[in-house]
Amino acid sequence: MSAPEAQAETQTAPGGDAEGSTERRLNMIEAINEALDVTMARDPDIVIMGEDVGYFGGVFRCTAGLQEKYGRTRVFDTPISECGIIAAAVGMGAYGLRPVPEIQFADYIYPGLDQLISEAARLRYRSAAEYIAPITVRTPFGGGIFGGQTHSQSPEAIFAHVSGLKTVIPSTPYDAKGLLIAAIEDNDPVIFFEPKRIYNGPFNGYYDKPAQPWKKHAASIVPEGHYTIPLGKARIVTEGEALTVLAYGTMVHVAEEVCRQKGVDAEILDLRTLVPLDIEAIEASVRKTGRCMIVHEATRTAGFGAELSALVTERCFYHLEAPVLRVTGFDTPYPHSLEWAYFPGPVRIGEAIDKILSE
């Protein structure tokens, strides 16, 4: 049992298709660590690589204990070269391994874009499926730690634009484990964004302290053993009739808290994966409510919310009772001291809710 697992709280689990008979309450770091542990135990071709992921266990401790358990040939540190990390992973994948490289912060991923876009995303097509790139690139993204411009970016829209890449963003420990296992077992390259702001617990958007520690959160109950969550399936967080809210990652919790505080009968969809996107679930919800609000932390212009707005308008135009609204980060470099003003929070989300419900 790895170090994060040892701190887990155990209880008897209800029946399910997961291996094992108990469930534990884990935070997202622990759930990710366990997903890596489970997959490595099942498949000797899985290797973990990245800056400080080995001996130190990762800057956020997501890989703690794995090098000690599986050895230095399967969990190893790399030079500080994101381009080299991704390039090596693509080659490993083409020759039969399933590498899981970690990019220490999403802000550092840009030197590896050429390898991800020109090589990993296109290898299957370029080789007529003779070669594949079954790599899962894990990286923390978004704000919440006062990291400023170089440790807080949300570049998910860049990767969602690239054909051949899958883009996954969990919002709970349960989803983090199930989605990460599914991503690692997928034969196509996956970018797995981990919202660092909720690594240790969800935040309510009002303060920079946990509103509900994961120990009290239903989604922190994580089954032991192997289970997967299919990529491309959204989760209905709350059912409602007045408004559809589309969100992912940290913003799922912020939007949920604001709707709860305002007493809004909102149907909140956690997208989970941007590519593939569960457009059927989105369409069904918007057709029911007639209103749609999109919330994401990334900058507004050309953000993924623009794609969602276009899809909703194209598919649900005659069902809409008000224009689609987006509540996003600002089109500015990421601030340091004003980080919590940059986030879509209770004031801006609340004003958007009032506006869309009044139209």
Positions marked active-site: 151
* CA dihedral sign of residues 56, 61, 65, 66: negative
The structure tokens listed for 62 are 């997501």
Tokens of 274: 């941007």
DSSP state of 161: T
β-strand pairing of 190-195 with 166-168: parallel
The sheet carrying 9-12 orders its strands as: 9-12, 22-25, 221-223
Cα Dmax for the chain:
60
Asked if 193 and 272 count as a contact pair (C-beta separation under 8 A), the reply is no
* Distances in whole angstroms, Cα of residue 119 to Cα of each of 88, 137, 279, 329: 11, 14, 28, 31
Name residue, tokens 């996956």: 190
- The answer to whether 210 and 246 are in contact (CB under 8 A) is no
Cα–Cα distances in Å, from 290 out to 108, 268, 274, 338? 40, 14, 22, 35
Place of tokens 């029911």: 288
134, burial (CB in 10 Å: exposed 0-12, middle 13-18, buried 19+):
buried
Which helix (H) or strand (E) segment holds residue 209: the answer is none
| CA separation for the pair 244, 230 (Å, rounded) | 22
Q: How many helices (H) and strands (E) does the chain have?
A: 13, 15
**CB 160: neighbour CB atoms within 10 A?**
18
- Measure the N-to-C terminal CA separation of the chain; round to a whole number of Å: 54
